[in-house]
Each structure stands twice: as structure tokens, then as C-alpha cells.
Structure 1
């Protein structure tokens, strides 16, 4: 028997020595007997458990998946990711490998591949790729959504087929992990680890409408209580689905009809006095202030160009094309700058801007695009930072004071918070915090053609220009862009209802309907979640609009 154990030990040492000789970086190695016995396995647990504390009794073989589930993985690997990638590209050093490769995660439902993703090389960090031989991360963490790269992968899986594949009832979930490197062509390596979990999906709650009560509507400054008809059962059903996390991370729903408050519901611990962070909804506030400044003559027209405000030759990547970028280009997201927030590799992507100490300098230093069709729409947050800077240096007292005097005070909005740029200019990229009902005031101001309490706050001509379909949105049939406002149509009972609207990351929206006396506000905190905006569309078409529109 001793001879047998000696041979096993000798073989194990030989294998480890061989692996070490072929490795390019030193790893943490095999950390425990549990690790050794489960190399190549993905273990599922219902809570976060460190690899050091994990026991075999924690391993899940079956699980019930609800809208409020948590699901964590521990992956026991035989080597680090960098060493696995080295087998695919032995000519490259470790620093090069971590920049061009990562994990390929694949998820199967009932032996059918639903989604596979080559994870971005930036997650996890290079030092982790080099050293760690264990992954301990959440796929789902209901209490802290979308905070880690593994959760982001699960969100994409749900968006790209997982949601429809996980029908009510029993399923087999299988996960596989491989390494990849992106050379001239994509190279995918052998299986690193896999795991299976029997799941019972129970995501559709049973609703008893008789036990659901709507929030009593009370008057608010500028909004008396509406007595209009309302399909309360539709709103009750929506409320039940939000409470059961069918629709996730919703914080408020407000409906204004004919200038009166019809629906006011809050969720997830929020209330009437909560200041919500609607992210890029704030861009539309920049448009409003631009219109006010235009009406008062501080800006001559939206055809003014950047060369009137900046010495463009003093910034990197100068091009004569930048000289002709107009305020209108910034308002309609159609400038020549090579900036697109929807493309990670874009030089002008907003994520490249935030770590810098001067966002205006960053924006003006973005190179021009020589490949994108002229004047084509592209989502360019840094361009709105330029617009805010132009306003700040043009209006009396600066943007902060001017916005307060000309927009917020006339609406009697006192409780609000800007975010600021590194130069302490209000951040027109987004993030201004207001109460849900004050966001509704902003929407109603547009519905009123710029008037509030008989005072013309925003020039009517600016409202008309803002609500013009200047740019078709690429890849979105029938959707357009105005002056930092979006445009689309919702279909209810085969009838289309057109809206201009503000939108921000997380599922935040202020809808101003063209042919209905409606302003609708939805605030949410599903930041970075692929489901954030699609779930708002479902809420609007299935519940909110059917409950409040005039069908006669």
C-alpha cells in the first residue's frame, strides 16, 4: 500500500513539475485537498462562500430559481488563466496575453447552448489572471446587482436568450469555461472547467389583486390630484410584479395626465422625498438650459461652432474638421469626433474620460472619425460635457447659478443635487438628482410648450426644435433623436403612441407624449443591466399605457 501511495505522489509531483516548466507565470497553486479533488469543476452555491471555507455539503445539485435568487460559483482550476492562454500563444509574454485574452464563458440550458461570451480582457485584472487558480464570484446577487464581471455575464445571458429559455419548471443548467486569445484570428483553448445544476424555475408570482393597494394620491406643488379614469387593476398588477422583482430595481412610477397627478408609486424603500439619480436623463436638462440661453441671447444660435469658444489647435489630435463642429452637432450627437459610448474600443468612450482630471480637454483631444458616415448619430457623452462648458463660460454667473435662476426656481424645485466635473462645473453628462415628481415637472414643462404657471421658462421655439426628429438611430427601426431627447412609439392594442423622452442608465425615463395628455416618469437603479430599458418598455406597453390612455 505504501508503495502505491509513493507512486501516486511521484506521478503528481512529476505532473506539477512538468506544468511548472511550461508555465509563464507563477500561480497560487492548488490551495487545498478540496481544490485538488475538484480540479476542472464549477461548484454552485446559494451564497458567497470563500474557497477556504467551502465544504462539500455547500455544493448545490438542485436549486429553485426565483426573481430574488442568489447564485454563486466557485471554479477550481488546475492553473491560472495566463498560463492557459500561454498554451494558445506561446510566443507572447504575460503582459501581452492579459491584454488580448480572457475567459470564454458558455451557458447551456437542457443541453442547448444559449449564450457564449468571450469576456473583455479588462476583467479580471491582469494580476488576477496571472496568479489565481480559483474563481469565487456571483452569477446572481440580488442584493448587489451588476457589480462584478461575472454578474455582467449573467445579465447578458439573460438578455440574449436566457430569459426565454428559463421557462417555468425544471431545467438543467450547464456552464463551461475555456481560455481564449484574440490574435489575427480568435483562438479558443480546451475546457478549463464545467459544472451542472438542476434548477426549478419559479419566476412568475401568483397575484391576488384584492390584497394589493395603490398608494393614495396626494396633491403636490404644481400638480393637483387627477380624477381621470384609471384601470387600477393594471397598476396593481404592475406593482405586484415590481414587488416580486419580475421588474427589478424600479424605484418610482409617476403618471401626470392633463397636468394632474394620476399615479404615484414608490418601491424598494424609496419615497416622495427621495432624490433619484437618473444618469443621462440629465443630458436633457443641458438641452433645456441651452434653449433658455439661446432665447436670452447669450448663445446666438445652435449653428455656432467650437472654434468660437476654443483654441482647438492647442489640444491633441487637431483637425480642421473640429473647427466646424456646431452646438447642433453636440445636441444631436452627430459630431465628427471618434467617440461612441456603445463601443468599448472607441477613443472617445465616456469610460476613458472619467479618470482624467480635465473632461473638456479629454473631449477636445478626441480624434476625428475618418470612417463613420458624416453627420451619423453616435452616442457621445463627452460632447455634452463640451456643451456644458460652453454654457458655463457663456451665461452670466456660470451654469450652476444660471440653471437655478432660470430653470429650477421658476418650477419651484429647491431640493436637487448636481454632480460636478473635475473643474466643478455641473456635470451635463448626467446624474442630476431630483424627486420623481420634480422630474415630472420638467416633463410637464415640455408638454406645456415651455410654460409653467403662465411663465415662459423655455422658449416655445426651442421646444419645437427639441421635439424634431433630426437623426434616425442606427439599428433601431422607427426611433429618432432630437436635441438630447429620444423619440419612439409604443404600440397598445395595435395603435401607436408617439413620445419624446429623456433616458438614462438603469432604466430611468421621462416620457412626454405627443398625442396624449401624458407625462410619465420611471426611475430605477438597474445600472449597467441589459434588462434595464427593455423592462421599462414592457412596463409601458403592458401595464402603464393600457391603464391610463384615452382609447375613445
Structure 2
């Protein structure tokens, strides 16, 4: 019996041990994708699927050229995988290309090997060659990396003798700093003058490389040279007695489960180590996962850990400021002392390894000549942006919720005061100067002040202050010389919309002015609002780590709800609150950030050390014609404050002309302080966050638009950052709400009520107005989403200025001439509106392409020429058609 009990007890123990062993083995096996990759839901591994899909849609659209696939792994599992279909027939019909077997437009160079799923790796092959050297070094076949490589290649004699060649070490070859004279980077890879093409046309590639002249001492200067990798191919062959492809098959591929591959060979039978490998994206990701794990695969040290460490720590600088190079790998520094590894090949082959986030990302393509193309650093940022923050910051979210509750409360309170269409669209004409001034300024500035102008300060430095000057001039002229006259005239005509005023002022004989005004407002407001929606998504993405589209949905929903509730009154009150919040936020940040600057240098001297153009008021290159025209364009932005409907509706709604006198100095001082502070934020951020010679957009985002969020993260505590998020959203929403109400009023009041149904019931009209507002908002949302997919590198500055210019060029000339010229008539107004409306797209898309003068108009931008031409045609038409 004892023996029986002993067996039962042992059986339980054995069963437990067996179960533990089974589970351990299963877990371990699932971690290492030797046989196949496991797939996992991105959310379970802390990744946002929508962000990855959004970037995938950009690749799929062709916006970045011929991209064949995108694959992302995290935690040893595939979390995203997509392939795209491309027709390469047109690529192969290209002419005037280099002849021979290695012609990049020859059908033999199809990106997929002979109708298989094996995709060309091009220069990604070099990183595999690095692995072969690492293994040979670990195995003792190549004991010393400082050994001279020519000692191993004694059978080759150079036709260009140079003693420096004998000093080239294996390490020099790995780091592409041999000093061999070589050029394959300044021309296309199909150019017959390329050293790479000439090597590939030769009968002995190694001999061709050794025959090249020396231009530098070995180890002194990086120069990208595919031929040097062929020296490594021969080195492996000589030291191990095996061809490099077979050596890797035995020592690497068989270990990590790469069974299907193809590797080209040279006419001499040597492995094309510099670009001849074909793999599936999944097998390439296996190699990346090996590197991610410091050379370990399923418990086996395949590559020396020190080898991977040396790649990360390379100090070999390149001609590209965001790239280093070492051991046949590119290295991308990012963040605070973080590095990502990049294996990169012609045509869009990219493998990005990001140890900080346990990510391997693989991209394949065949974008040989086409531009734009996949940018490795930006691709890395897109993948990193999909990482969900481990601990959502509840403090920021609570602050945002309180902010949104205030807005909804304002909308609810305002709704109690809406009794007729006048109340809904102009608040019953009862605004105080404080509310009128701050709401006009917050509406006029929009999200571009906090993201666009701060970004311009970071990219342009002192010359961004020309924007400030232009806005101050525009605001001052508007309040000092135009507002009181406009207010008096709208009161006389009992106008509640801008088209109302125009129709009454010109005693219009038809409804054409109303129709033109409603059409122009609807179109350009949709563009302008879509820009603000885009800013909302970027704000949630950059500040909170939310998905871009989730951020859009939240901000969009809040704005629509409180506009629905209280119309213009809710808009004006909320804009006053939001304008005050923007004012405080913009003034406090540069003051706090300034005191974090190093005490041993001034801001201007620090910026000068980064880029002298940052402290030149005329911009890069100093005073010249191009810069002068660009400055005129920047200053002319202020014209938009001299008649834009979303701003001038405040003058209709203000209590009296006496209130305008009081509000003038509030508006001007607000503009001076907030605009100047925005530029200073950009300049301080540029100094603190970037280095000399570094492309600011790689750190601060397109046009520097992430400088605000990055600077906040460096100098402000979390609770304050939450307030700043609210400030950015304030800038956005204060513009969106005003634009939607103005456009809705044009459609509802000036088109439907005045033209189609003059006797419509007021309550029904208010309800109809809300529906029109929703439709316009949804169309703007659709535009924002479409542009985010088709134009991923769009900038807030460009987007806003286009919409802003469209509204300004259509309405400002008409308002200005109506106020100051008594002979301006209906015909002139119609001519001005049509001209301004059409000139904006013409000067934006067509004129810059004209040879000779296009570059000048591109720098000038669209505002000034469009407004001037609109005023000229208005003058000519009014003169010709005098009543």
C-alpha cells in the first residue's frame, strides 16, 4: 500500500512537472517564430490598429510611390501585415538605362523573384553580410577585425597602386570608411557613370573595387560604397572555405527558420553580398527579431551580443544628419539617447528595429526613381506613434473633461436666450467689447497660432515675426478705420449676415450676390474647418497619444453639440472663454521655458550656433529678392482680418460703435502679445530640442508643428500640460464654431430664407440652420479625413492659409471697397467676389508652375495677388457699369 501511495503521489508530481514543462515549451515556442509567426491583435500588445491602418492606407494609395508591403511585429508576434498590388509594366518600359544583366529596369529585376513571393532586398543584403562576418568572427575564422583586408586578398593586384590601400582594415570596410574613391549616390543607380553599375557590368567585381583609386586615408571618412561589401563576400569565402550564401544558410538561416530564399551571384560565382538577396517580408522580420534580441534565438547566441551593441553605439557620421552608419547598418538616433537600427535597400526595402518599443517594422517596394518615396525616419515615427501609452494620463483627461463640460455648459446656457434667427446668428446684437474683441481674435487666430505659428518660429526664427507685424497691421486697420463704419451700416440695413449687408448696401437687383457669397463661404469654410479638424486630431495624437481619428471624433462632436445648443451666442461666449485661456497659455510658456535656458549663452547666440539664418530677420541668405517677396507674403496674411465674415460678424453683433473704441486696444494688444509669444515658443523650442545641422522637421515634425507639445513635455508638469491641451483645442474650436455658424447662416438665411422661402417660420428656420450646420461639419470632416490619407505630409500652416486666403480674397476686397468707396456698385462687387474666389486656386496650384515667375508667386503665396486683382476688377467693373 505504501508503494502504491508513493506511486500516486509521484504521479501527481510528474503530471504537474510535465504540465509545467509543456506550458513552458509552448510559451517558449510561441515566442520564437522559427517555424512560423504567430499573429496577435495589436491592442493586446499595446498598439493602436487604427494608426497602423491609417499609415498603411497612405502607402496603399501610392502617395509614397510603389510600396509592396508593410509588416509590423511586437513581442515576437505579427500585429499588422498588409500587401499592396502594383503594376510594374510601365517601369520596365523605361528607356536609356544601363544595359546588361543588372539593369534595374530589366524584367529580370522584377521585385519578386520569378513569380514567387520572394522580394528583392537590395542593400538590405549588406546587413546580412554583416551577420556573416559576426559569425565568422565569433567562430574564430576572422579573429581580428583590425586586420588588414588586403592581407586576405593577396591574389588581387590593383591597377591603381596606393600604399594606403594596404592599410584598410576589415573594420574600415564594415563601416564604409575605406577611403576608396567611389560614387554611386550622386546619380541614379541606372546611370552608366555610377561605380556600382560599372562594377556590376564587370566580369570580376572584387577586382573592379580594388582597381579604384584611393581618395582618403582609411578610417577617416564615410562614403557609401556597395563595392566594399563585395570585399567582405570574398573575405568570408577565403576564411571559411564556403560561399557567403551557403555560410549564412548553415549558420543563420537554418537556425532562425529561413528556408526559402534566393541569392544572386556574380559572373565569378561570388555571392552578391551588396544587393542580391531575395526574401519574404516575414523571413526578413525573423532576422530583425534576432537583432532585436541581441543576437539570441531561442536560447542560442547566434550573433555576439557585443556585435549588436557596437552597431547601436557606432559613431560613424554620414552626410545625412539623422543617420549614422556602422557594421553595414544604418543607425537612427531618436528621443533621449535612443537608437533604432535600419537595414535599407534601393526601391523601398526597409527593416526598422526599435528596441525601445520591442518592434520590428518591414517595408518592401520597388520605387526606383519615383518621388516622393518612403522616408525611413518618418516611417519609424508613424510606427512609434501607434504605440499606446502604457499608463494613460488621467490628470490630462480629467482637465480636458472639465474643459468640455464648461463648453457644453455655455452652450446650454446660451440656448435659453435663443428666441429668433437674429438671436441664433448674432446674439441679438448685444455683445460687450470684451466678448467681441476676444472672440474675434480667438476666431481669427485659430489652431494655426498654437501649432502653425509656433512651428514657423522654430523653422524660421526671427523672420517669423513678419507674420506678427502683418497681423497687428491688419487688426489695427480693421478696428480703427473699418469696424465703426461697418457697424453703422449694418445697423442701418438691419443686417444679420455679411451677404445681408452686401445685398442691402448695393441695392442688389438680383440674388446673385447672396448666391455667390453663400457658395464661397460654404466652400472655403469647409476647407478651413477641415484644417481645424486636422489640428484636433494632431493635438490628441501628439499630446495624449490618442489615435489621430479618435481625437478628430471627440473634438468634432463637442463643437457640433454646443453650436447646436446655443448658436452664435454660445460661440461668442465660448470664444471669450477660449480666447482668455489661449492668452494665458501662450504668455506663460515662453517665460517658463526661457528660464530653463543655459546661463552661459543667450537665446540668439544659441540659435545662431544651430543655424545663422534663425537670427537673420530677412531669413536664410539675408536680404534678397526672393526673401523680400516671401516677407511681403507673410505680412499680407493680415489682410484677412479686414473683412473676413467670421471676424466681421462680431461687429454686427456688438452693442454699439462706442464698444468698438474700447475693444480696439484689447484686440491689438491681444494680437501683439499672443503672436509674439507663439514665435518665441518656436524659437526657444528650436534651441532646446535640436542640434546644429539637424533637420528640425525630423525632431519637431512637419513645419515644426510639434514644437509646442515637445517643449511642454520638457518644461511643464503634467497638470499644466493638460491645461495647454485645452488651450490648443480652444484655438481650434473657437474658429470651427464661428466658421460653421457663418457658413450655415449664409446657406439658411441668405439662400433659403431670402431666396426660396421668405415667409418661413422662425423656429423652423432655427431647426433647419442646425441641420445645415451639421451637414457642413460632416463634409469638412470628410475633407479632413481624405486629405490625411492622400496628403500625409500636409502642414497646418499650408492648410489654414489656403482656406483663410479663400475667404479673405472673396470678401475682404468687397468689404473694404464698400466701406471706403461710394461709387462701388453691385457689378463691381460681383466682379471682386468672382475674381477673388477663382484667384486663390489659380495662384496656389497653377501660377507657381510658370517658368521664370512661378517661384516668386510661390513665395508670395495667394493672399496678396488674389486680393489686389479682386479689388482691381471691382474698380474696373464699377467704373464701366456706373448706374
* Shared fold, TM over 0.5: yes
1:126-174 Cα offsets, whole Å, 9 max, x none, are xxxxxxxxxxxxxxxxxxxxxxxxxxxxxxxxxxxxxxxxxxxxxxxxx
Q: Matches of 2:155 and 2:184 in 1, distance apart?
A: 23
Q: Is the CA contact (8 Å cut-off) linking 1:306 and 1:322 kept in structure 2?
A: no
Task: Pick the aligned partner of 1:463 from 290, 304, 308.
Answer: 308
Distance 1:318 1:529, change over 3 A: farther
Match in the other structure for 2:146: 303
Q: Does 1:484 align with 2:298?
A: no
Task: Pick the aligned partner of 2:136 from 293, 300, 306.
Answer: 293
Greater Cα offset, 223-232 or 266-275: 266-275
Larger radius of gyration: 2
Distance 1:346 1:356, change over 3 A: closer
How many residues get paired? 327
Instruction: Please state whether the residue corresponding to 1:522 is helix, strand or coil.
Output: strand
Match in the other structure for 1:514: 355
Match in the other structure for 1:240: 57
Distance 1:530 1:375, change over 3 A: farther
Instruction: Please state whether the residue corresponding to 2:262 is helix, strand or coil.
Output: coil
Q: Is the CA contact (8 Å cut-off) linking 2:178 and 2:218 kept in structure 1?
A: no
Instruction: Please state whether the residue corresponding to 1:293 is helix, strand or coil.
Output: helix
**1:346 positional shift:** 11
Q: Matches of 2:123 and 2:388 in 1, distance apart?
A: 27
Distance 1:225 1:438, change over 3 A: same
Match in the other structure for 1:261: 78
Match in the other structure for 2:209: 363
Q: Is the CA contact (8 Å cut-off) linking 2:52 and 2:386 kept in structure 1?
A: yes
Match in the other structure for 1:283: 126
Match in the other structure for 2:365: 524
Distance 1:524 1:551, change over 3 A: farther
Task: Pick the aligned partner of 1:223 from 14, 37, 46.
Answer: 37
Q: Matches of 2:135 and 2:175 in 1, distance apart?
A: 17
Instruction: Please state whether the residue corresponding to 1:515 is helix, strand or coil.
Output: helix
Q: Does 1:447 align with 2:292?
A: yes
**1:292 positional shift:** 0.2
Q: Does 1:333 align with 2:176?
A: yes
**1:283 positional shift:** 0.3
Distance 1:392 1:549, change over 3 A: farther
Match in the other structure for 1:546: 385
State TM-score, norm by structure 2.
Answer: 0.35
Q: Matches of 2:350 and 2:389 in 1, distance apart?
A: 21
Match in the other structure for 1:50: none
**1:411 positional shift:** 0.8
* Structure 1 residue ranges (4+ consecutive) displaced by more than 4 angstroms after TM superposition: 269-273, 344-348, 549-552
Instruction: Please state whether the residue corresponding to 1:510 is helix, strand or coil.
Output: strand
1:93-104 equivalence runs, <5 A: none
1:458-514 Cα offsets, whole Å, 9 max, x none, are 12122222222230112x2242112111111457xxx88630110111121111113
Q: Is the CA contact (8 Å cut-off) linking 1:338 and 1:347 kept in structure 2?
A: no
**1:362 positional shift:** 0.2
Instruction: Please state whether the residue corresponding to 1:430 is helix, strand or coil.
Output: coil
Q: Which has the higher helix share?
A: 2
Q: Matches of 2:50 and 2:337 in 1, distance apart?
A: 22
1:430-445 equivalence runs, <5 A: 430-445=275-290
Distance 1:407 1:220, change over 3 A: closer
Task: Pick the aligned partner of 1:504 from 342, 345, 355.
Answer: 345
Q: Is the CA contact (8 Å cut-off) linking 1:339 and 1:346 kept in structure 2?
A: no
Q: Matches of 2:324 and 2:275 in 1, distance apart?
A: 20
Instruction: Please state whether the residue corresponding to 2:263 is helix, strand or coil.
Output: coil
Q: Matches of 2:311 and 2:154 in 1, distance apart?
A: 29
Q: Is the CA contact (8 Å cut-off) linking 2:118 and 2:279 kept in structure 1?
A: yes
**Higher relative contact order by CA 8 Å / sep ≥ 6: 1 or 2?**
2
Q: Is the CA contact (8 Å cut-off) linking 2:316 and 2:324 kept in structure 1?
A: yes
**1:273 positional shift:** 7.2
Distance 1:496 1:299, change over 3 A: closer
Instruction: Please state whether the residue corresponding to 2:231 is helix, strand or coil.
Output: helix
Instruction: Please state whether the residue corresponding to 1:548 is helix, strand or coil.
Output: coil
Greater Cα offset, 518-527 or 307-316: 307-316
Q: Matches of 1:459 and 1:401 in 2, distance apart?
A: 20
Match in the other structure for 1:25: none
Distance 1:497 1:229, change over 3 A: same
Q: Matches of 2:239 and 2:47 in 1, distance apart?
A: 46
Q: Is the CA contact (8 Å cut-off) linking 1:254 and 1:263 kept in structure 2?
A: yes
Greater Cα offset, 275-284 or 455-464: 455-464
Q: Is the CA contact (8 Å cut-off) linking 1:332 and 1:470 kept in structure 2?
A: no
**1:229 positional shift:** 3.0
Instruction: Please state whether the residue corresponding to 2:357 is helix, strand or coil.
Output: coil
Task: Pick the aligned partner of 1:397 from 221, 242, 248.
Answer: 242
Q: Matches of 1:305 and 1:452 in 2, distance apart?
A: 31
